[in-house]
Every structure is written in structure tokens, then in C-alpha cells.
């Protein structure tokens, strides 16, 4: 039975480390909050959420979805994860604030201290050298190394600053997503790459005896696992307690997103040699045999209690689309219900505040939820969606006091990877039926087998599920740059003050 890719869900731009018997993996979360997810494993195959580094990154109108401001396709990208002198370091840039952030903590669960590093370091990686000097590498096509000062607030005056790798070949994607390591006295830089001659992403590595010396190397891994010429690349390497080496990279899988793949490697004459093909099945000795992992996705009955500070912490698999508006959501107002109150008018789903999301999982999956729309106002929409550039949803809406169930979707140009860009146009309505009551049970189904990337929506009538609307095609685009997610949403198009309640959320992976 296959177990590689190791997670059939959107965890791109991976960096991975081991601290004693525990592996940690960080991934890009962009506009989702809480942000900067760190996963934990004891065998590199099975993973669970360890923590999120921040609740909200910056108090900006765009990160809070105020008006029609947003950070789709931006936010936190490609973090570097390191552990040095009993402290965790997370470093990344945010493409909306144009800042480089450094978070530090002595415990993986925090508290995390935030600071800014002067400069903007795209797809960076930190190196703590044995002589106490600290470096950051970064860039696209031209990979730079810059020495940082001891408190990591900016470049060290008079410190090393040079190009270490430069792509001179015809390419679609120059070297980027770099990760730097020092192993047995040599320096290794791993990068993603896409040559025009290859037409798919590959992994490259360059090695030097010193940071002032010449880095030499090239392509080290080129495989698509027989999947649509979708190359496996960009990520980190890590060794096990018994000295074996593995790399965790990602692979594009259509609308579900970019998913992690593990590949064995070894050093031969001080150069990394990857297995020629990513194995479909792999076993790695667990450092804690029998450990039971928390699910990366799951059900929720929305029964929560306040902590000592009077706050609620939702289950780890939930993230909001952008920073939530705290005053407009609750799970304690009506126990067993996630409630969203309307606080602004919106043209479409993109701008809905407090949309609560979970990643979709391949090969196919479904979500079921019960919706109470008794407090909706005319022009309100509340329901269950697949949140992606080409989104689709099923929702209750009201018009002249009458409740309707609708299925809507956004159609995008599938010829351009950049999409149609986020706009303020309403979704296309494909179906509408009147409903007598205000309480409905909804289902959203996603099929990601072989990049089919289709979704369907249903409502329950007695014991029977009825399909509503079309089978909608979802397309991964760079205007959002993330895989699609299930979302619970509510927004107003005419006036505020409405509310919606969601209960009995169920998540099923089907194959």
C-alpha cells in the first residue's frame, strides 16, 4: 500500500529538523490564521500539528480583510526552521508587508518572540556556523549569502555578502527555495529549479568547502512519481538518530495543493545522492513506537471552554481565512455552534470575514455540517464552500424574507496559472430552490483523483442526499497560491446584523 506522498494535502515550502527524537516540519500558510504551522513526527511519515507560531502577523487592514483589502497570494512564505543553543528559530518574509520576520522560542509551543530582520530575504534559510557567525541565504536565480549580526536584527557591518549560486541556463524557474546546511565541515545549498529543457521542477544541490569558496554542483533529483510531469522539489533534509538521511520535498497535485514527499538520500564523496525515484512505500524507524498521532483534519462539535485568559482555542486543524474579527465569531455564545455575525457588506466569498477552514485531503474527501440560518437577513449568504480561486459553495440566502438554498461558483480562465486575480464580482448562481425551514444539513464533496479536481454540493432531505447545482471544476492558481479548503462562511451583500450558526461538522476521507 502506498504511503508516499506522506500527506495528500497542502503543506508546501517545507523545512524540517530533528531535535533529539522529534522531527519538526514547517510549511507556508500565507493568508490563513493562526499562521506558520509546525508539524511534529517521530518517524517522518506520520505527522500532527505541534503549534502555530502566531495568531495574527500584523494589524493591517489587508490581513484583517477590511473592506476589499486582502493578502491572497501573499502573506507568510517559505519559512526557515532551525534549532540552535536550545532555541527554535523561524524566519520568513511576508509578501504584503515586505518585511523579514524572525520568531524565537525555547519551547516549540511558545511563547514565540517576534522581531524584524532589516532587509527582505526571499525564500531564506538560516545557518548558525560553528564559529558563532550567523548567515542567511536567499534569492531567486541569484542566490545570495549575507552575514547577520549576533542579535539577528540585520546584516553585520563588514560581514560576508556575496552571490554563491547563479543560474545561467535557460529556465522557467531559477534556483530558489534554498536551504543551507553544514555537514562534516562542508556547506550544502539545496534549491528548487525548472529548466526549459526539463519542463518540470527538479532539486539541485551545490557544495563548497567554505562560504568564501566556489559552490559546485547541479541537479540531484528529477522525478514526477508518474504524476502529470509534476516534479518533486523544494524542501529540507534531515538525519535520523541512526544516521540515515531523508529529504522532504513537495509536489504539485492540482487543486488540492502542494503535498509533501519523502526521498531517501546518502552522502557519497561528500555529495548528496538521492534515490533515483521517490518510493511509493517507505518505512522509517520510529523513535516512539506506538505513538498515536492527532488527525490533521477532523470533526468538531464546537464544544469549547474559555481558558484562564478568557480565550477560546479551536482545534489545531482549523484556520481562519485572514485574521478573524474576534467580536463577530463565537463558540460559547451557543454551545455546540460556531456562530458568525455579519460586520460588513461583501461582494463575494473572498471578502467574508471569519470563514473557518480546513485543508482538503486527497484522493477525495467530504465535509458535512448543519446550518442554522434563522437569523439571516435579506442578501445574506451562509454555507459550506471549497475556498480556492475557482471557489464553489452551497448556501442559504434570503430574499424578501424567503429562504433559498443556492449553489454558486466562480469560473476562472484555466489557461493562465495566474488566474483572473481576486475581484469583487459575485459568483455565478447555478441552482436555487426555496426552503421552508431555516435549518439544513449540507455536504461538500471533492474529488482530487488524478487531478480531476471537481466538487459537488448536496443538501439532506430526510435520509436522502440531493445534489444541488453543477459539478464544478476547481483550478489551482497563483492568485491565491494555496490548495483548496473546506470553509464555513457567512457574509452580507445588502446590510449587516445577520448571523449564522454551524454545528456537527464531520470530515470524511473516502479512499
| Active site amino acids | 13, 176
Grid cell digits, residue 477: 492558481
- Give φ, ψ of 170 to 5 degrees: -65, 120
Give residue for cell 506506538: 290
3-state secondary structure of 391: coil
Grid cell digits, residue 221: 533529483
- Give me the DSSP letters along 416-481: -TTTT----PPPEEEEEEE-SSSEEEEEEEEE-GGG--EEEEEEEETTEEEE-SPPEEP---TTT-
Residues 6+ apart with CB under 8 A from 310: none
Q: How many residues in the chain?
A: 511
3-state secondary structure of 91: strand
Give residue for cell 525548472: 194
Buried-state track 443-464, b at ≥16 Cβ within 10 A, e below 16: bbbbbbeebebbbbbbbeeeee
Cβ atoms of 344 and 352 closer than 8 Å: no
Helices (H), 3-115: none
Grid cell digits, residue 440: 439544513
Burial (CB count within 10 angstroms: exposed 0-12, middle 13-18, buried 19+), residue 149: middle
> Partners of 216 in the beta sheet?
207
Bridge pairing between strands 87-94 and 99-105: antiparallel
Q: How many other CB atoms sit within 10 Å of the CB of residue 150? A: 9
Cβ atoms of 384 and 369 closer than 8 Å: yes
Ramachandran area for residue 62 (φ above 0: left; ψ -120 to 50: alpha; else beta): alpha
Grid cell digits, residue 70: 486582502
Alpha-carbon distance of 336 to 355, in angstroms, equals 17
Grid cell digits, residue 50: 505541534
Amino acid at each position: 500500500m502506498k504511503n508516499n506522498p506522506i500527506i495528500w494535502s497542502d503543506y508546501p515550502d517545507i523545512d524540517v529538523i530533528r531535535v533529539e527524537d522529534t522531527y519538526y516540519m514547517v510549511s507556508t500558510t500565507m493568508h490563513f490564521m493562526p499562521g506558520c504551522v509546525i508539524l511534529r513526527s517521530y518517524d517522518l511519515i506520520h505527522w500532527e500539528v505541534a503549534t502555530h507560531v502566531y495568531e495574527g502577523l500584523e494589524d493591517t487592514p489587508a490581513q484583517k480583510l477590511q473592506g476589499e483589502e486582502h493578502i491572497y497570494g501573499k502573506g507568510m512564505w517559505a519559512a526557515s526552521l532551525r534549532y540552535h543553543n536550545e532555541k527554535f528559530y523561524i524566519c520568513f518574509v511576508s509578501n504584503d508587508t515586505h518585511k523579514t520576520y524572525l520568531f524565537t522560542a525555547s519551547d516549540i509551543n511558545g511563547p514565540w518572540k517576534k522581531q524584524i530582520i532589516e532587509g527582505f530575504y526571499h525564500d531564506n534559510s538560516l545557518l548558525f556556523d560553528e564559529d558563532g557567525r550567523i548567515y542567511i541565504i536567499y534569492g531567486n536565480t541569484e542566490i545570495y549569502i549575507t552575514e547577520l549580526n549576533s542579535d539577528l536584527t540585520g546584516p553585520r557591518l563588514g560581514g560576508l555578502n556575496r552571490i554563491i549560486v547563479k543560474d545561467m541556463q535557460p529556465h522557467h524557474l531559477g534556483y530558489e527555495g534554498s536551504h543551507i546546511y553544514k555537514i562534516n565541515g562542508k556547506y550544502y545549498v539545496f534549491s528548487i529549479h525548472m529548466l526549459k529543457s526539463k519542463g518540470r521542477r527538479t532539486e539541485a544541490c551545490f557544495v563548497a568547502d567554505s562560504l568564501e569558496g566556489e559552490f559546485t554542483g547541479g541537479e540531484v533529483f528529477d522525478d514526477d512519481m508518474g504524476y502529470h510531469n509534476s516534479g518533486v522539489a523544494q524542501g529540507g533534509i534531515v538525519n535520523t538518530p541512526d544516521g540515515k538521511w531523508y529529504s522532504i520535498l513537495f509536489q504539485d497535485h492540482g487543486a488540492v495543493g502542494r503535498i509533501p514527499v519523502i526521498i531517501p538520500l546518502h552522502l557519497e564523496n561528500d555529495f548528496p545522492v538521492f534515490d533515483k525515484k521517490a518510493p511509493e512505500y517507505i518505512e522509517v524507524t520510529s523513535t516512539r513506537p506506538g505513538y498515536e498521532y492527532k488527525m490533521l483534519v477532523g470533526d468538531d462539535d464546537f464544544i469549547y471552554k474559555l481558558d484562564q485568559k478568557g480565550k477560546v482555542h479551536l482545534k489545531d486543524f482549523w484556520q481562519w481565512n485572514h485574521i478573524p474579527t474576534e467580536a463577530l465569531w463565537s463558540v460559547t455564545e451557543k454551545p455546540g455552534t460556531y456562530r458568525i455575525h455579519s460586520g460588513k457588506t461583501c461582494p463575494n466569498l473572498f471578502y467574508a470575514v471569519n470563514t473557518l477552514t480546513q485543508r482538503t485531503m486527497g484522493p477525495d474527501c467530504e465535509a458535512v455540517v448543519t446550518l442554522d440560518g434563522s437569523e439571516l437577513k435579506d442578501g445574506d449568504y451562509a454555507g459550506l464552500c471549497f475556498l480556492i480561486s475557482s471557489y464553489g459553495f452551497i448556501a442559504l440566502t434570503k430574499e424578501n424574507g424567503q429562504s433559498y438554498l443556492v449553489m454558486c461558483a466562480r469560473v476562472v480562465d484555466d489557461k493562465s496559472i495566474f488566474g483572473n486575480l481576486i475581484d469583487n464580482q459575485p459568483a455565478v448562481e447555478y441552482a436555487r430552490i426555496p426552503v421552508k425551514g431555516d435549518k439544513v444539513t449540507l455536504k461538500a464533496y471533492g474529488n482530487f483523483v488524478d487531478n480531476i479536481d471537481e466538487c459537488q454540493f448536496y443538501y439532506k432531505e430526510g435520509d436522502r442526499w440531493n445534489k444541488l447545482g453543477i459539478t464544478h471544476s476547481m483550478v489551482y492558481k497563483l492568485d491565491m497560491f494555496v490548495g483548496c479548503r473546506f470553509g464555513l462562511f457567512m457574509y452580507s451583500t445588502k446590510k449587516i446584523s445577520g448571523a449564522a450558526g454551524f454545528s456537527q461538522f464531520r470530515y470524511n476521507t473516502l479512499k
